[in-house]
């Protein structure tokens, strides 16, 4: 089937405008309904992982605080947008989502503009209609994540580049470059496509080579205009030479290491939570290099590790790349922070009725790319966006959130395939139609071939709901959800792990131990299960076994604060025979403490160990360090427990009057806290 335009005249502009208005209205209605429905999700007002990172960053900006010292770890445009929403509407997380619904509907208009410019108004309307009800577009435009800005900025960059191709000139090259630069401060990997467009400008012909080279150079220089202020901030305020952000090296290592599955966004040997993973990757790099590293050096360290693995295992690396390419083009939305498909359908019932998804758009889009290939000089920027974006994702790791910005552009080519197909039917070119349908059937079959290793059950979504319930202290409901998750996928190690941790909170250590052992059989080295096993053995009174398990935890995760802290606690419980080893473990925990809470806990346990070992001066030094990390009372009362233990140790060291003086000063300082008198009564009594 050859790509031929419909012989009928294109839709007249007035009718097209009314049709577009109707499509945008539908797009807005679907998005607003989805946002309102999604308020039922426990994550709506309590975002997790990346969404929480963006919200906290935005709130810090509104307060005038520096959220994360140093150069930007992530591109700042979306947190800046969210800060603007927070400044306007406060901490209400409904308002920014409704604004994002409007932006998403506007993106459908941009899709129409691209389709109409590349082909005709009919194609533009069909592509806008596809975007208006594409389920995952609606879902991500309701999340506090980058796609809501990635999509319109990338569409604008493609539109300006196509516009330049229609009538090349310096002004159009500059506008195209500016649009690319703005897209890059939302998601920097769009710059790979920008490089390809720069080459397309040179290769497309139609002008002397020198002129094309100047146009390409101008395009590149204009791209830097929105980026260079970010670079200057990184250099002056962040004291590091970073173009936009520093997360690229870690992400490259996550997706290119011997244990990578191509989609899980966890670096080997690090905790699965956001800040835990961040601090662990820095600790690993600095331990390997033997010195403190700038953020750019941390990124460079992981990039070098990934390239070293690729160079040493080229066959495995190529096989892994092919695997990621398969994941990218398969009809399954791979979750990143959460199971997007589960949450979209569970808390956005309107999306269950959407007929448009990857399984429809991808085969049609690829067919449309084939049809449009002969027109590479005019459609080049849009055509090249699809493979360039794919490459920029597959080079790292694959998930639905990273793939979604490609879909509106691919949807334009899907619309082109539909329009060409309809023209073929009207022209009764049955042979060409048959060939096109066969090609489409092959593409559908390929896209629908989901690897058996991909978990398509609701296990991850149920587990995530269980984690939320666990965090809120609803352990009975958390247990039920973890059991359902395991029933859906018995090989899901994290559900076994967290079921074990739930059993611990419910006072059922034997069941907790069994669940943690199940998790470790499925995924050896799972951090939470290793720690949970130690806790369960303690609760069962098996101190020696707990110490053995804690040593295994520390060996499996030698750079984790948690591992050394847990080992120190286990050896404290074990008694005098473990004091020397426990002292060394807690010193490592102190060195790896990433914040005041971790420092407080490590010093407090170290103080208890020194006190038990009959070393009061060393114990007091650790109590002092703990209180320096947490200088004010906390809700759980650990501040007062530490103060009481410190004063007891001073008293036992023969310094009772000193302890009484300090107790009186504490009572005066915290007179409004009823826990002060209760904690200090022994030292205040005559």
pLDDT in tens, 625-639: 888 888 788 878 888
Tell me the sheet residues that pair with 376: none
Alpha-carbon span 533 to 514, nearest angstrom = 9
Q: Which helix (H) or strand (E) segment is 324 a member of?
A: helix 314-328
Which stretches within 290-394 are classed as H helix?
Answer: 295-312, 314-328, 340-347, 358-372, 376-394
Q: Is 453 helix (H, G, I), strand (E, B) or coil?
A: coil
What does the DSSP 8-state code read for residue 280? H
pLDDT for the residue 574: 77
Q: Which residues contact 216 (CB under 8 A, 6 or more apart)?
A: 173, 198, 199, 201, 202
Summarize pLDDT for 383-414 with one digit per residue, the tens: 999 999 999 999 999 998 999 999 999 999 99
pLDDT for the residue 685: 63
The residue with tokens 């040493």 is 312
Q: Would you say how long the chain is, in residues?
A: 686
Which stretches within 64-169 are classed as H helix?
Answer: 77-89, 94-118, 121-133, 135-141, 147-166
Q: Is 356 helix (H, G, I), strand (E, B) or coil?
A: strand
Q: Which residues contact 32 (CB under 8 A, 6 or more apart)?
A: 98, 101
Tell me the sheet residues that pair with 356: 134
Alpha-carbon span 470 to 287, nearest angstrom = 33
Q: Which residues contact 544 (CB under 8 A, 6 or more apart)?
A: 574
pLDDT for the residue 65: 85
Give pLDDT < 70 ranges for the chain. 1-8, 684-686
- ∠ CA 515-520-524, nearest 5°, is 170
Both tokens of 54, joined, read 């963006």
Alpha-carbon span 590 to 632, nearest angstrom = 20
- Comparing CA positions, the residue from 605, 573, 154 lying closest to residue 392 is 154
pLDDT for the residue 6: 52
Alpha-carbon span 92 to 326, nearest angstrom = 40
Q: pLDDT averaged over the chain?
A: 88
pLDDT for the residue 475: 92
Please state, in angstroms and as integers, the Cα–Cα distance from residue 73 to each residue in 194, 226, 304, 335, 674, following that order: 22, 17, 18, 22, 43
Q: Is 412 helix (H, G, I), strand (E, B) or coil?
A: helix
For the chain, give percent helix, strand, coil, nearest 5.
75, 0, 25
- What's the predicted TM-score (pTM) here? 0.85
CB 407 within 8 A of CB 137: yes
Task: Count other Cβ atoms within 10 Å, centred on residue 425.
Answer: 12
Please state, in angstroms and as integers, the Cα–Cα distance from residue 234 to each residue in 11, 56, 72, 395, 514, following that order: 50, 20, 7, 25, 49
Q: Is 242 helix (H, G, I), strand (E, B) or coil?
A: coil
Q: Which helix (H) or strand (E) segment is 499 a member of?
A: helix 493-505
Please state, in angstroms and as integers, the Cα–Cα distance from residue 220 to each residue in 151, 196, 242, 382, following that order: 21, 11, 18, 18
pLDDT for the residue 333: 86
Q: How many CA atoms lie within 13 A of 518 on its CB side?
A: 19
- Comparing CA positions, the residue from 626, 672, 632 lying closest to residue 649 is 626
Alpha-carbon span 247 to 300, nearest angstrom = 10
CB 35 within 8 A of CB 94: yes
């Amino acid at each position: 089937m050859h790509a031929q335009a419909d012989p009928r005249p294109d839709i007249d502009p007035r009718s097209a405008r009314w049709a577009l208005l109707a499509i945008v209205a539908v797009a807005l209605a679907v998005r607003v309904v989805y946002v309102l429905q999604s308020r039922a999700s426990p994550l709506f007002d309590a975002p997790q992982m990346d969404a929480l990172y963006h919200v906290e960053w935005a709130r810090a900006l509104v307060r005038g605080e520096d959220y994360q010292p140093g150069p930007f770890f992530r591109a700042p445009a979306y947190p800046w947008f969210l800060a603007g929403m927070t400044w306007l509407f406060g901490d209400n997380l409904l308002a920014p989502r409704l604004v994002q619904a409007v932006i998403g509907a506007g993106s459908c208009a941009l899709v129409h503009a691209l389709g109409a410019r590349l082909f005709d108004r009919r194609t533009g309307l069909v592509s806008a209609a596809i975007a208006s009800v594409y389920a995952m577009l609606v879902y991500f435009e309701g999340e506090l994540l980058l796609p809501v800005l990635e999509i319109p900025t990338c569409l604008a960059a493609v539109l300006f580049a196509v516009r330049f191709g229609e009538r090349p000139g310096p002004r159009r090259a500059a506008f195209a470059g500016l649009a690319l630069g703005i897209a890059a401060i939302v998601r920097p990997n769009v710059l790979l496509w920008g490089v390809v467009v720069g080459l397309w400008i040179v290769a497309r012909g139609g002008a002397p080579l020198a002129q094309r080279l100047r146009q390409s150079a101008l395009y590149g220089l204009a791209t830097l205009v929105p980026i260079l202020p970010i670079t200057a901030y990184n250099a002056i305020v962040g004291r590091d030479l970073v173009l936009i952000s520093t997360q690229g090296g870690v992400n490259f290592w996550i997706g290119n290491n011997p244990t990578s599955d191509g989609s899980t966004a966890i670096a080997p040997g690090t905790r699965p939570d956001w800040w835990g993973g961040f601090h662990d990757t820095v600790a690993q790099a600095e331990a390997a290099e033997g010195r403190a590293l700038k953020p750019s050096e941390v990124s460079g360290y992981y990039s070098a590790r990934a390239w070293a693995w690729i160079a040493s295992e080229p066959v495995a690396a190529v096989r892994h790349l092919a695997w990621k390419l398969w994941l990218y083009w398969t009809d399954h939305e791979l979750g990143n922070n959460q199971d997007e498909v589960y949450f979209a359908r569970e808390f956005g019932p309107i999306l269950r009725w959407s007929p448009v998804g990857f399984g429809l758009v991808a085969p049609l889009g690829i067919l449309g790319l084939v049809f449009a290939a002969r027109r590479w000089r005019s459609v080049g920027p849009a055509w090249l966006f699809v493979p360039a974006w794919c490459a920029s994702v597959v080079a790292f790791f694959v998930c639905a959130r990273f793939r979604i910005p490609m879909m509106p552009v691919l949807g334009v080519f899907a619309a082109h395939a539909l329009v060409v197909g309809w023209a073929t039917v009207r022209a009764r070119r049955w042979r060409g139609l048959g060939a096109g349908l066969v090609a489409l059937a092959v593409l559908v079959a390929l896209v629908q071939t989901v690897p058996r290793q991909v978990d398509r059950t609701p296990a991850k979504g149920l587990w995530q709901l269980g984690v939320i319930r666990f965090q809120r202290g609803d352990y009975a409901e958390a247990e039920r959800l973890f059991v359902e998750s395991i029933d859906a996928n018995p090989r899901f190690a994290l559900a076994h792990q967290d079921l074990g941790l739930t059993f611990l909170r419910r006072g059922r250590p034997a069941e907790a131990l069994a669940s943690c052992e199940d998790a470790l059989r499925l995924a050896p080295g799972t951090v939470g299960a290793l720690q949970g096993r130690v806790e369960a053995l303690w609760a069962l009174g098996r101190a020696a076994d707990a110490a053995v398990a804690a040593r295994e935890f520390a060996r499996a995760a030698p750079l984790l604060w948690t591992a050394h802290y847990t080992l120190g606690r286990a050896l404290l419980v074990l008694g005098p025979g473990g004091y020397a080893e426990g002292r060394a473990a807690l010193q490592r925990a102190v060195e790896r403490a990433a914040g005041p809470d971790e420092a407080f806990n490590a010093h407090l346990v170290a103080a208890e160990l020194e006190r038990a070992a009959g070393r009061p001066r060393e114990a007091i030094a650790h109590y002092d360090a703990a209180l320096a990390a947490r200088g004010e009372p906390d809700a759980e009362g650990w501040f007062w427990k530490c103060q009481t233990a410190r004063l007891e140790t001073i008293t036992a060291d023969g310094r009772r009057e000193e302890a009484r003086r300090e107790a009186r000063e504490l009572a005066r300082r915290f007179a409004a806290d009823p826990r002060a008198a209760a904690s200090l009564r022994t030292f205040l009594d005559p």
